[in-house]
Chains A and B, each alone.
Chain A
Amino acid sequence: MAVASFAVAGDARSDVRLHRFAVVAGNDRGGADTRPLEYATEDARRIHGVLTELGGVARDDATLLLNRSSSDLVAALAGIESRIAAARTRGERTTIVVYYSGHAKDGELRLGDTRLALGTLKARLQKLPAEVVVGIFDSCRSGVRFKGAVKGPAFEIQNSVAEDARGVVFLSSSSADEDAQESDDIRGSYFSHHLASGLRGSADRSGDGRVTLSEAYSYAYSRTVADTAESAAGAQHPTFDIGLKGNGELVLTEPVTRREGLRVPGPAPGGTYYVVQSGFIAAELVKPDNEERRLALAPGRYLVKRRLPDRLRVGEVRIAVGQLVTLDEAALKDVPFSDDPVKGASRDASMGLTAAAGFQSFFDEQTRNSLFPPAGLIGIELQIRDFFRRGWVVSADLTLGGTRATLVRPDDSALPYRFSEVGLGGSLFTEWHHGNLIPFMGGRVALMVMHREFETKTIPKQDFSTFSPSFIGGLRYRLGSGFSAQVRGRIGYFFYNVDHKERSLGYLELATAVSYDF
């Protein structure tokens, strides 16, 4: 959750100092029954950055809470409340933006395993002593339902009395029955991404170098609806609930105050310009025909992309400190869609270690009785999650097993022996995250070495090795603190070809395991 202060355009008391505050919170986890989000904390960082760079919020007045609990959020609000009160005592006008990205469900924000009722939070925000309070909620399947919430492309502050704006306004990234969607291309939620882009200047319809609340919302609404219209989850419609008095426009950011940035001149073709950094879309700029647009950006190297029906127009832009770079259309090159500089997010791979214990048994009774007896297994497995792609796990494992058994030959000879096996395997499987319960399924190939040693020393030791493919499936349950428990099964194919009897055998392995994700 973030609170940001904003300026009021046309402020009748412009000689009075405006003190801006922000509390920004992001939490990727929503506790039981929710699937972890990928970019909620990234959204929070992004909004925090815009507000402190362009929103006039001093870093000391901005609180960033990443993966923190509801009590941390309440404590942060209490802390900021006293500072607002102190500012007002000094005669300053105050504004605050509270931003939250994360799970919300059944009328509650989910901050990890903790919850905070929306009604409680709303009442808390309304009691803040700031003149203007802006609450922004980018919530996944939020169910965020405010009294009077409106689904619409834009709003205007309606008040016939000429006075400074004061009151509370809430923005929500989706309506009560919608998911707030994320994208790997932008490494964030659509709503927060477009809100941030808008605040950086893309939403500045008036071209005055300042982005008002209504401009930002209008821009974020239209871009979010457009980007999610074709998604599997359906279009996502941001909503607002405004309770402001006064006729002043609420200015959230002033990109014009930042010297560095990108300027797309009026003669440049209209359309959407994507600013790409490190393979993902850092910001977007929607330029109407014959109108100039500016986007405040930090110094650095960017690629600018514009999509045409049959190709892309791509060019590099280097923004130095204090430099406002004008985009030269002639410097852009035509490239095919296959060379799109937006690669999408490559989520960092993570490693895990699993220790397992179980048993193995061949399906064929004769095989169990005379060749490979049911055996206990222990194993250790090193896993890399999201290595090839998100949700996929590649792993390497070492399995040891053994038992004692007796071989009975046709002449009734009983030959006790000790059976052992070693398996060295590699697996690739995919996981489906449903809260803390994670089903998984995939395949494994293992080099299996079977060995038996008879008590009758006159019989030589025997070995057999083969590569065995198997299907794997199971359930993993997240216990917390990186630990999880799982049950899993493997059904394998085993080719046996000694004695000139080529046999296709099948076996089952069942195991319980404990995993730790680093």
Chain B
Amino acid sequence: MMKCLLALSLLVGACGGNYSNEDIDFQLALPERQELTVKLPNAVQLEDSAEYYKWTRGTVVTFNYMTAAFLGLIDAVRAYPATERHPGVRVWGPFANDKHPAWVVRVTIIQGEQKFLYLVEYNRAKNPLREWGKLITGEYSPRGGVRRGAGSFDLFLLPAREVGYPIDGLDDIDELHIQHQTLAYPVTLSMQIGYPAPRTMASYDYSENMDGSGAMRFKFPTDSPGLSELELRSQWKGSGIGRADATVTRGNPLVVGWKGVDCWGLDTRATYKHRDWEPAKDTGDPSSCAFGPP
């Protein structure tokens, strides 16, 4: 009888695997890297590139860096089969943090009515915290194809930093919120970044059309005297030519509402430049500007 039980247990033990359609649904319920990437044509920068182009490009690099940090945390979901399977729930991990082995991370995805909710948590590998720390919460509503949907996620860095969880490369950010949709053109991507006091929130809105043209609007606090906040609205065509309109939105009442314009060509150099505060220094031809003269 014991031999029979042993043989049976060996047989049962040899069964199983990750062959699951539901797992695929969960794995597809996460935004793809390209969905969270701002694409700026001719993203080269020369020493004499237009000033607002440089600002735009710098913002795009920062933006993409932020989303990449998020995607890195959930890459395990794509790389490995689920560790736990429950009805409507999948859990990946805990996995050791590659760079910081004293910490472990786990990812939980919950299937809701029309959307998937996901949660990235952290804990110490030894002497674990009483409760797992919440690092990312998000949701995603997949529609109409692979990774085509709408969703959002929030990254809570301040409480993680307070318990010692290492946040590489995001040391000066307290929180991050992203909304994205790829259901129809223009696809949109928005980000809000919370900075430590006295700075406040910075917001970025990006849209992308089917022909490769796009636009980005971002407000960001500045350290310049009398200039608390600037808004820059950049637009570009699929060929790479574009323009950016800057507006002072907060600060010294005397300068609030002042505008500046940069237009650039295929080589990203300015074809027209205007600053309300330096009207005598206008350069170029305003008719060269994409999307009409300023």
Contacts and interface: CB of A to CB of B under 8 A. Distances in A.
Q: Do A and B bind each other?
A: yes
B11 A467 contact: yes
B14 A370 contact: no
B44 interface: no
Interface string A214-257: 00000000000000000000000000000000000000000000
B17 A464 contact: yes
B85 A500 contact: yes
Contacts of A370: 21
Contact of B18 (A447, A458, A460): A460
A463 B24 contact: no
Contacts of A411: 142-145
Contacts of B15: 465-467, 495, 497
B120 interface: no
Contacts of B87: 500
B18 A465 contact: no
Contacts of A447: 14
A456 interface: yes
Nearest to A452: B19
B240 interface: no
A139 B187 CA distance: 90
Contacts of A467: 11, 14-15
Contacts of B32: 458
B19 A463 contact: yes
A495 B11 CA distance: 12
A459 interface: yes
Nearest to B145: A413
Interface in A27-49: none
A89 interface: no
B161 interface: no
B14 A458 contact: no
Interface string A479-518: 0000000000000000111111000000000000000000
Contacts of B11: 467
Contact of B27 (A460, A497, A498): A460
Interface in A408-444: 409-415
A407 interface: yes
Contacts, number: 85
**Which of B18, B32, B146 counts the most chain A CB atoms within 10 A?**
B146
Contacts of B19: 371, 450, 452, 462-464, 496, 498
B28 interface: yes
A460 B22 contact: no
B19 to A, nearest CB: 3
A465 B10 CA distance: 13
Interface residues of A, number: 30
Contacts of A496: 19
Contacts of A460: 18, 27, 78-81
Interface in A105-126: none
Nearest to B143: A411
Interface in A384-409: 407, 409
Contacts of B146: 413, 415, 456
A456 B147 CA distance: 11
Range of interface residues on chain B?
20 to 34
B20 interface: yes
Contacts of A407: 21, 24
Contacts of B143: 411
B18 to A, nearest CB: 5
Contacts of B24: 407, 409, 415, 454, 459
Given A409-B28, A411-B145, A467-B11, A499 B17 contact: no
Nearest to A496: B19
Contacts of B28: 409, 413, 459
Contacts of B81: 460, 462
B272 to A, nearest CB: 43
B27 A458 contact: yes
Contacts of B80: 460
A407 B28 CA distance: 13
B65 to A, nearest CB: 21
B22 A499 contact: yes
B16 A464 contact: yes
Contacts of B23: 462, 498-499
**Which of A454, A458, A459, A495 counts the most chain B CB atoms within 10 A?**
A458
B124 to A, nearest CB: 28
A447 B17 CA distance: 13
B14 A465 contact: yes
Interface string B125-156: 00000000000000000111111000000000
B20 A499 contact: yes
B25 interface: yes
B281 interface: no
A409 B25 contact: yes
Contacts of B145: 411-414
A93 B216 CA distance: 125
A463 B23 CA distance: 12
**Which of A410, A411, A415 counts the most chain B CB atoms within 10 A?**
A411
A447 B147 CA distance: 35
B100 interface: no
A422 to B, nearest CB: 13
A458 B144 contact: no
A459 B80 CA distance: 9
Contacts of B78: 458-460
A447 B20 CA distance: 19
A465 B15 CA distance: 5
B21 A463 contact: no
A469 B143 CA distance: 40
B86 interface: yes
A499 B85 contact: yes
A391 B143 CA distance: 60
A458 B32 CA distance: 9
B110 to A, nearest CB: 15
B66 to A, nearest CB: 21
Interface in A336-385: 370-371
Contacts of B21: 370-371, 407, 409, 499
Contacts of A410: 25
B68 to A, nearest CB: 15
Nearest to A451: B19
Contacts of A463: 17-19
A365 B146 CA distance: 24
A143 B11 CA distance: 55
Given A447-B14, A460-B80, A465-B15, A498 B20 contact: yes
A265 to B, nearest CB: 53
A59 to B, nearest CB: 56
Given A371-B19, A458-B27, A459-B27, A412 B14 contact: no
Given A409-B21, A467-B14, A497-B15, 20 more contacts: A371-B21, A409-B24, A409-B25, A410-B25, A411-B142, A450-B19, A458-B147, A459-B28, A460-B81, A462-B17, A463-B18, A464-B16, A464-B18, A465-B15, A465-B17, A466-B15, A496-B19, A498-B18, A499-B85, A500-B87
The 6 closest A-B pairs by CB, nearest first: A464-B19, A464-B17, A463-B17, A466-B15, A462-B19, A498-B20
21 contacts: A371-B21, A411-B145, A412-B145, A413-B142, A414-B145, A450-B17, A450-B19, A456-B146, A458-B27, A459-B28, A460-B81, A462-B17, A463-B17, A463-B19, A466-B15, A467-B14, A495-B15, A497-B15, A498-B23, A500-B86, A500-B87
